[in-house]
Structure 1
């Protein structure tokens, strides 16, 4: 089986909070969980010696996080495995970029997200209060 890993922006912000003051409970408000939040979703199918590399330059924002989940995006066992990172916990490169490594075994990278034994699963990456969305680059590599 060929390894796969994809990431798409399925839920960009459609309305800003200031726009909702005049139209509470509008359709635009219900299209995303919060109007100042945008989401990227992805799915992976990795072999035991493969890693999904995700790179981006975080924008100025209130909060961002990335987390692994199962096929239905239910969070994995975050109590015993490192399955998420955010703007406080991620190691940032000297150029301001963040590289996340999703793998079934520890590759020795500070931003390793452990699949907790899962070969397949989902990923959510969200930005809260960002004025723009960064380009997110992904690839699968051999460990």
Structure 2
């Protein structure tokens, strides 16, 4: 499988920071107040939680699209179609209130992991891909779940 490149690992971990901060603003009044006064209402609690979760899920569609470019001609259409599912899921399912939207994002990330595995299995993703995606998915799902339950 191979080792995850350091830059990819650091950027992926940095992608967890907004979700972690949103959790902090859910459980800490001082964090909420500072974030709200300095950054505004979009950067606190469920607003940040759900918007960042949807943005990253859509971003991951782009990553899968990049993998699809390496697919053999007879497989390419399926790969491109699969690659847009996370973005469509985020667009259509990340509404309807913080609990249902959060749960739908969790399901979206679990579905994304299945797509990650399939693209890796087909040899379209780097050999180290699942070493990165599995722990990142666990982290994202845990943070989203905390936000749903808060």
Regarding TM over 0.5, the answer is: no
Identify the structure with bigger relative contact order (alpha carbons < 8 Å, sequence gap 6+).
1
Per residue, is there more strand in 1 or in 2? 1
TM-score, structure 1 as length reference? 0.30
| More helix per residue | 2
Q: TM-score scaled to structure 2, two decimals?
A: 0.29
